[in-house]
Amino acid sequence: MGAIELNRIEKWFGDLQVIKGIDLGIRDGEFVVFVGPSGCGKSTLLRMIGGLEEISRGNLVIDGRDVTSDPPSKRGLSMVFQSYALYPHMSVRDNMGFSLKTAGAPKSEIDEKVGEAARVLKLEDFLDRRPKALSGGQRQRVAIGRSIVRDPTAFLFDEPLSNLDAALRVEMRYEIAKLHRALGRTMIYVTHDQVEAMTLADRIVVLEYGTIAQAGTPRELYERPANLFVAEFIGSPA
Ligand code: ADP
Ligand code: MG
């Protein structure tokens, strides 16, 4: 479960090609980080994997099944964004359980899954609060909790921490690393923050205007950057 294969993936917005034929195999349970400068196509690539953006060419295979044309709900993935719009009038508990409720899950199952996510994310004491009574980090945890309850085969994160202040970003980075260890699920994580990439990733994929400049472990990239672009981005000694 959770193996994701990108085969010659392209994205065109009209005449503009923003993803230029990407091949990438992601192992079950792997933590893969997409990095690269603003506008290089990180979000577009992630959104195509999640099904929020149509794939212009190529195909996407999840656990051996071609899901290229499947809607997001059929892919078994869950996305976490930087803007984590929670429902302000609902409690943390109801925010986290909402997707299960709309899917018609019984209350006992919702309670169990929300309780379990709250335990992992240390939100047990906050379940009856409204989002406005939470800190930024706690709100981001609730947003992650909403994903966990859906029990996805893989998590997709698009710069989930970029709205948080520096101290909280560091704390949440540890939380996400712990979450990965606890759940053992595939995670694809987009960031433009080198430190986040280096600390979280099993493998970093450096994107350069719609192509992969290099993919490798943080150490490989640091010690043997494929070109100057990667070296500068990763901050390797020149
Ligand atoms: P990143 O997340 O790396 O900053 P994006 O994936 O958001 O980059 O964008 C990649 C490129 O695609 C940019 O040039 C951006 O302007 C363009 N782009 C993104 N979404 C659209 C869209 N809906 N229509 C047209 N161009 C888009
Ligand atoms: Mg982006």
Amino acid at 106: P
Atom of ligand 1 nearest to the CA of 190: 2
Supply the DSSP symbol for 88: T
Assess contact for 15 and 8: CB atoms under 8 A.
Answer: no
CA 48 – CA 42 distance, rounded (Å) = 10
Query: Closest residue (by CA) to atom 10 of ligand 1?
Result: 41
* Mean pLDDT within 140-150: 90
Secondary structure element (H or E) that encloses residue 84, with its range: none
Model's pTM, two decimal places? 0.92
Residue 204, pLDDT score: 97
Distance 163 CA to ligand 2 centre (A): 13
pLDDT in tens, 148-194: 998 899 999 999 888 888 888 888 899 899 999 999 999 999 998 89
ipTM: 0.98
Distance 212 CA to ligand 1 centre (A): 16
> Could you give the maximum distance between any two Cα atoms of the chain, in Å?
58
Query: Closest residue (by CA) to atom 14 of ligand 1?
Result: 39
Token readout for 225 is 């950057």
Assess contact for 136 and 168: CB atoms under 8 A.
Answer: yes
Interior/surface letters 36-63, b for 16+ CB within 10 angstroms, e for the rest: beeebbbbbbbbbbbbebebeebebebe
